[in-house]
Structure formats: structure tokens, C-alpha cells
Amino acid sequence: MLKKFVHYVFLNIISMLALSFYIIIDTLFIANVCGSSGVAALNISLPGYGFIYGLGLMLGVGSATRFRIFYNDYDKKCAFFTKALFFASIISILFMIIGLFFSEPILRLLGASDAVMPFAFPYFKYMLIFTPAFIFNDILLSFIRNDSNPGLVSSAVMLSSFANVFLDYIFMYIFKWGMFGAVVATGISPILSMMLLSVHFLQHKNTFKFKLSSLKLIKFTDFFYQSALGISSLISEVSSSIVIIIYNFILLKYVGDIGVAAYGVIANISLVIIAVFRGISDGIQPLISECYVKHDYKNIWFIIKLAIALALILMSLTYLYFTLFPTTVTNLFNPTRDLKFEKIAIDGMLIYFIGSFFASINLIVSVVSQAIAKPRPAFIISMLRGIILIVIFALVFSYFWQVRGMWASYVVTELVVAIFSLFSLSNIMENEFIN
């Protein structure tokens, strides 16, 4: 089991790191080519991408988890895959229509000014038009990972990430396409990923396929059944946008634009850290589901403990580096060496990232509950840490302790949710395997 753990988890960590680094580099390209208006346009558009990505994960992870639980039932596996593609098609068509006809009014609602609109409009519009590529890629990644081919999934994610960076350079620097070039690069990348993933089928390694006959008995409720085990992924993506908006308003109130810029440092670093945690949690999901089917209680506990231990060790090393060499991190985002910027960013890092220790536990427990077909704890965890507690604590703590209170709100949120997560995990394991 240890060999399987290393194989699944470390490949997944590498692919998630590649994805997170590409997002950071993508932002740097836009900042250099389009300036602050381009970055503002990107930030305004990202909630839309977060929703698309969240839906893709919800349908992909949820359906693929069902697929893994019923791994020995060929007809059910094919039905889960076929229905996932069908529902993805409907969602994609809806988003494409919205992109074609309603992009401008939506951008106005999201806060796009006249200065930002020329940059935001093409990016947002074509991002929605590329919805099929994003969602179908998420589904294929999830199913092929659960079909015992995590290596190919890792390669596809890395190909997509590096292709995006390369295409960004081609379209934005050589073709001079600006924001349109950025979104075309982002849209083509998952298509290249799917082309590589097709090797799984061409080499006949797949234990499932698309079966048109599966659609004859399709019901509307099938969407909720297949998506239920991935709902926390949707909530996580949508809620992150809400939290960023609230944090930005608090920072503008107390320290102005320089505070929002400093938050950008923490947000980018957090992206990488969460990517590692997601790499661990998503990597153990197929293993947990496999053990669950076999009622292998001992190995489930072994995998969970190993995953949490790995996450905490990696976070400890990261936090130690932040403590000893904080300016080496902030200077990457602070070319002018602004001392106020540096102070806010370092102060925020040393408070905010204490919460990441607890966040690792929450992400792992959330995926474990989904992997054994118990979506309710994952849903509650996502709601508490993503929307309910973080919003309440951020508003209350910032009222009493300003910016430091805002940073601390993340720590307290993750701590409270971690207590709930461990309690839920204990109950699930006791009810499922001991009784």
C-alpha cells in the first residue's frame, strides 16, 4: 500500500504544482503585456472561470468516485462516464450561450469599469466559449486517474500547464493579441491535455467507454447522484472568489491599494500550498475508494495518517522557510522594494499560513468522506471553511484588530473546521467499519 501511496500521491502533487505555477506565470505575462488594467480584467473574470472549473470538478470527481466504488461493474462504470459527458455537454452549451450574448452585462455586475472593459470583455467571452474544453478535460482527468493511470493524468496536466505558458508567450508577445491571446492559450491547453489522455483509450488500457445505450434510461436526478460526491469541489472554487472580494474590501479600507497588492503575494503562495494539499488529497482518493469496497479498514486508516503526516511535514518546512527568509519570497512580487508593501506581506504571511496546517487536515478529510460515498461531511467542511465561518470571522476580527485580525480569521476558521473534520472522520470510520 505504501508503494501505491507514493505512486499516486507524488505524481498528483507534481501535476498540481505544475498547474499552480502556470497560473502564477500566466498572471505575470498579463501584467507585463497589458499592465494593471489587464490584471484587473483577469481578476474580474476569474470568478467565472472558478465556477466553470468547480462544475467540472464536481461532475468529474463525483462521477469518477462512483465509478471507482462500482469498479467491478462494467455497465455501471460505462453509464457513469457516458452520463457525465452528457451533463457536461448541457452545461457547456449554457455557458457558451452566456458568453456569446451576456458577457458585457455580467462583467458590469462584477465591477468592470470603462477602462477595464476592453481587456475583460474578450477574455471573459472566449473563456466561456471554451467551457467544453475545460469541463471535458476535468472529467477525463478524474476518470483516467481512477482507472489506475495516474501517471498519464500527471503528464497531461503538466503538458497543459507548460503549453499554456508557451502559448501565452507566442500569442501575447509575438502575435500581440493581448488578453485575447491569453484566453486562447488558456482554452487550447486543456484540448492538448485531452489529446494526450486519449492514449489511455488508444492503447486499450481503459476499463470503460462511452455507451450510447446508457442514455436511454437517463434521469435528471442522475446529475445530482453523480455530482453529489464532488459538490465540495464546486463550493471550494466558488467560495474562494467570495473570500478574495471580502479581503480586498477590508484591505482597501485600512491600508489602501498597497494592502491589496501585498495580499497578492499571499494569494499566490497560498495557491501553491493548496495545490500540494490537493495533490495529496486527490491522490489518495482512488486508494481510499478501493479499500472501502474491500472493507479494508486498516489500510484506510494507514493512508489517512500517512497523508496528514506528509502534509504537516511539508507545511512545517515551508513555514520554517517563511520565518527564516521572508524577504526572498516577497521580493519576487516587489521589484521596487517598497518597504510598506514588504511589511504588510511578511506580517500577513507569518499569521495567515499558520492556518495552512489545519487546512491540510480539512482538505484530506473532505476527500476521504467523498471517496467512501459520504458527501455530507465534505459539504459541511466546504461550507464552513469556504463561506460561513471565514466571512463571519473576517468581518468581526477586522473590526477589532484591523488587518492582523483579517489574517487571523483564516487561522481560526481552519482550526475550528479541523476540529469538526477530525470528529466527523472518527464517526465515519467507527460507523462504517467498527459497528
pLDDT tens digit string along 146-184? 887 888 988 898 899 889 989 999 999 999 999 999 999
Residue 286 has φ and ψ, to the nearest 5°, of -60, -35
Query: From CA 212, how far away is CA 78, in angstroms rounded?
Result: 10
Q: At what angle do helices 74-101 and 220-227 cross, to 10 degrees?
A: 100
Query: From CA 37, how far away is CA 43, in angstroms rounded?
Result: 10
Residue ranges of domains in the chain: 22-218, 243-435
Q: Write out the three cell numbers for 43.
A: 481578476
Lookup result for grid cell 487561522: 411
- Give the pLDDT of residue 5: 75
Closest CA to 99 of 43, 139, 51, 66: 51
Q: Write out the three cell numbers for 340.
A: 510598506
Query: From CA 393, how far away is CA 389, in angstroms rounded?
Result: 6
pLDDT in 10s for each residue of the chain, 435 residues: 667 777 767 777 877 777 677 777 777 788 778 766 776 677 778 778 878 988 988 898 888 888 888 777 788 888 888 888 999 999 999 999 999 999 999 888 777 778 778 988 999 999 999 999 999 999 999 889 888 788 898 889 889 988 998 999 999 999 999 999 999 999 999 999 999 999 998 888 888 788 777 677 777 788 888 888 788 778 777 777 778 778 877 877 888 767 766 777 787 788 788 888 888 888 887 788 777 777 778 888 888 888 889 899 989 999 999 999 988 888 776 766 778 878 988 999 999 999 999 999 998 888 888 777 677 888 888 888 888 899 999 999 999 999 999 999 999 999 999 999 998 888 877 776 655
Query: From CA 329, how far away is CA 270, in angstroms rounded?
Result: 12
Q: Write out the three cell numbers for 406.
A: 483579517
- Give the pLDDT of residue 432: 65
Q: With contact defined as beta carbons under 8 Å apart, do 377 and 426 qualify?
A: no
Closest CA to 210 of 400, 83, 48: 83
Q: With contact defined as beta carbons under 8 Å apart, do 239 and 386 qualify?
A: yes
- Give the pLDDT of residue 245: 76
Q: Write out the three cell numbers for 423.
A: 470528529
Neighbours of 371 (CB within 10 A): 28
Assign 372 to helix, strand or coil. Answer: coil
Query: From CA 51, how far away is CA 62, in angstroms rounded?
Result: 16
**Helix residue ranges, H only, 130-256:** 131-146, 150-168, 178-197, 199-202, 220-227, 231-254
- Give the pLDDT of residue 1: 66
- Give the pLDDT of residue 420: 92
Query: From CA 254, how far away is CA 248, in angstroms rounded?
Result: 10
